[in-house]
A and B are shown apart, each in its own frame.
Chain A
Amino acid sequence: AQSVAQPEDQVNVAEGNPLTVKCTYSVSGNPYLFWYVQYPNRGLQFLLKYITGDNLVKGSYGFEAEFNKSQTSFHLKKPSALVSDSALYFCAVRDGPAAGNKLTFGGGTRVLVKP
C-alpha cells in the first residue's frame, strides 16, 4: 500500500524568507510524486511532479521540489515566499502512470506567509 506523510499541519514564514513544506512517501514501485495547492473553497491546482530524471523539479509560481530516494522524501521549497502563497498544500504519490492508479494524498500543510 502507498502512503504519504506531511509531518507539519502548519508552516508559518515571513514574506521574503525561504519556505519548505515537508513530505515523505512510501510506495512499492517507482513513485510518481506530485504537489498541489488549494486556495479556500477551490479545487486543487497542480504545482509540480516528479516522474523520473533530475531530482530537482521546478514547477509553477517559483516552487521547486527535491526527490530524495534514500530518504523517501519530496519536500516542496520556494526561495522567497509571498503572502499570496498562503494556502493549503498537498503532497501526493502514485504507483506508476496507469490510468487506474490512484493518488494517495498527505494530510495537507497549511502555509501562512506573514507580511
Chain B
Amino acid sequence: GAVVSQHPSRVICKSGTSVKIECRSLDFQATTMFWYRQFPKQSLMLMATSNEGSKATYEQGVEKDKFLINHASLTLSTLTVTSAHPEDSSFYICSAPSQGGNTIYFGEGSWLTVV
C-alpha cells in the first residue's frame, strides 16, 4: 500500500543551526502534504500545508520564516527548522493524502532535539 517516508528519524542539532526533515510519498504522487508537530503525550498540531509548485499555507501562530517548507516535487516535501532553539525540540510528522484523497497516510515521524 501507499507509504510515506520521513528522514531522518532522529536528529540532534546545536542551537542556532538549521535542520532539514524530508517527507516522501514512496509509491504515489502527492500535490499536498501536511506537517504536524507533536509534544509528548499530546495530540498533533497542524503546522502547515505544503503545496507542490506553490507556497505553503501556514496555520495561525506558526512562524513561516522559522519553519521553511518546500514542496519541490510531487513526491517530496521538506521542512527546514531555521536557527533552531531548544524549544523547537519536538516530534515532527508529515502526512500525504492518497490520490483521490480518501485516505491520509503518515510518516514515521522525526525526533528533533536542539541542544
Q: Which A residues contact B (CB, under 8 angstroms)?
A: 32, 34, 36, 41-46, 49, 51, 90, 92, 94, 97-108, 110
Contact = CB atoms under 8 A, between A and B. Distances in A.
Contacts, number: 62
A94 B34 CA distance: 13
Contacts of B43: 90, 105-108
A87 to B, nearest CB: 13
Main secondary structure of the interface of B (DSSP, over half): strand
Given A43-B6, A106-B43, A108-B43, A99 B34 contact: no
Interface of B: 6, 30-32, 34, 41-44, 46, 49, 51, 57, 91, 93, 95, 97, 100-109, 111
B93 A43 contact: yes
B49 A102 contact: yes
Contact of A99 (B32, B46, B93): B32
26 contacts: A34-B103, A34-B104, A42-B108, A43-B6, A43-B93, A44-B93, A44-B95, A44-B106, A46-B103, A46-B104, A46-B105, A49-B103, A90-B43, A94-B104, A99-B30, A99-B97, A100-B49, A100-B51, A100-B57, A101-B101, A103-B34, A104-B46, A105-B43, A108-B42, A108-B43, A110-B41
A49 B101 CA distance: 12
A97 B102 contact: yes
A29 to B, nearest CB: 14
Contacts of B103: 34, 46, 49
A43 B44 contact: no
